[in-house]
Amino acid sequence: MATIKDVAALAGVSLGTASRVLSGSSQTSPDSRARVTAAAKQLNYIANGPARSLRRSRTDVLGLLVSDIRNPFFSELAHAAEREAQRRGYTVLLANADEDAEQEAAYLRTFASQRIDGLLIAPQGSDVGALRALRDSGLPLVFVDRAVDGLDVPTIGTDNEDGIRRALTWLHEKGHREVAFVGGPPEVSTGHERRAAFLRFRDELGLSADPRLVAHGDFRAESGVEATRAVLASGARPTAVLSADGLMTLGVARALREEAASELGAVEIVSFDDLDWFDLVSPPISAVRNDASAIGRLGVEALVDVIEGRPGASHRVTTSFVDRSAGGAAGAGA
């Protein structure tokens, strides 16, 4: 673990200056702040005083860092985690990374400097440095929804392969062969896993392998619009679109609505993530039901196990499929 002396040496400043910068004092020059901040980031520096106090005492406080609090999936996950934590006698401090790696890093530094007993996090990408440093500081960690390769941390997530299989099998049975896929960012584990599963089951089911049918966004609504427009602008003519998350499904629907007067107006939409409004649109949207509540509950359970010295168990939560098509068993899992 890097120390404040290491940061000061790399930045070329005194120990006192480094301490003032890292404590947030304004009594430093802009140049010193920039150099110390850059050195701390390069060394993955984490203030270790509170970390030592964590080993001496309990605070009954957990941190929860979600990817995007505006995403209904993460809102539901946070709600379930909070209820489970309260049931076990813990309070939860919630933070939002806003699908931004730099904002995530800032919150990781904040949580590392606070007296919390453990941290639940949906990591942004594949950069393991700060997360490894946090784990090595002794702070109990559990990943929820997303994982990071190369880091041995208990992970509670969705069976993404199973969910994509359910969606594509349903579309195949309905006669669709030209199925477009709007995936998430490939550097995020859920984006990578869902895309890999789509390509695998697309080929196994004999669906079109036209590369123009595959695009990706960033798990936000506007990226779903842009990705869908890109597919259509390429000249591809899908009969169905499978979106890799609920917010991007909103974007897909908006983009296809722009084409409502054309032959694309009847394109079927399927979502990975089931949102409340899907049965209110016409036609309603069928979806893979991704159990965010179970992930939140199990995440807290695993984190408390780690805090209390027991091994935290990783778990893949199974999905179900909600068929809202005409004649489908709306609301029923498959």
Kindly list the domain boundaries of the chain, sorted by start residue: 4-42, 58-156+292-317, 160-290
Listing DSSP states for 157-202 in one string gives: EE-HHHHHHHHHHHHHHTT---EEEEE--TTSHHHHHHHHHHHHHH
Average pLDDT rounded to a whole number, residues 292-306: 97
Collapsing DSSP to helix, strand or coil, 219 comes out as coil
Residue 57: predicted pLDDT: 65
The reported pLDDT for the residue numbered 125 is 73
State the residue for tokens 């860092």: 65
Burial of residue 260 (number of CB atoms within 10 Å: 0-12, 13-18, 19+): exposed
What pLDDT band is residue 21 in, cutting at 50, 70 and 90? confident
Please indicate whether the domains covering 58-156+292-317 and 160-290 agree at the CATH topology level: yes
* Inter-axis angle of helices 129-136 and 101-113, nearest 10: 10
> What global pTM score does this model have?
0.80
Express as a percent the part of the chain with pLDDT over 90: 67
Beta bridge partners of 288: 272, 321
13/136: higher pLDDT: 13
Q: Which CATH architecture has domain 58-156+292-317?
A: 3-Layer(aba) Sandwich (3.40)
pLDDT confidence tier of residue 109, bands split at 50, 70 and 90: confident
CATH architecture of 160-290: 3-Layer(aba) Sandwich (3.40)
Residue with more model confidence, 186 or 115: 186
Average pLDDT over the chain reads 89
pLDDT at 126 over 70: no
Give the pLDDT of residue 229: 95
pLDDT tens digits, one per residue of 186-196: 999 999 999 99
Q: CA gyration radius for the chain? A: 23
Residue 207 or 28, more confident: 207
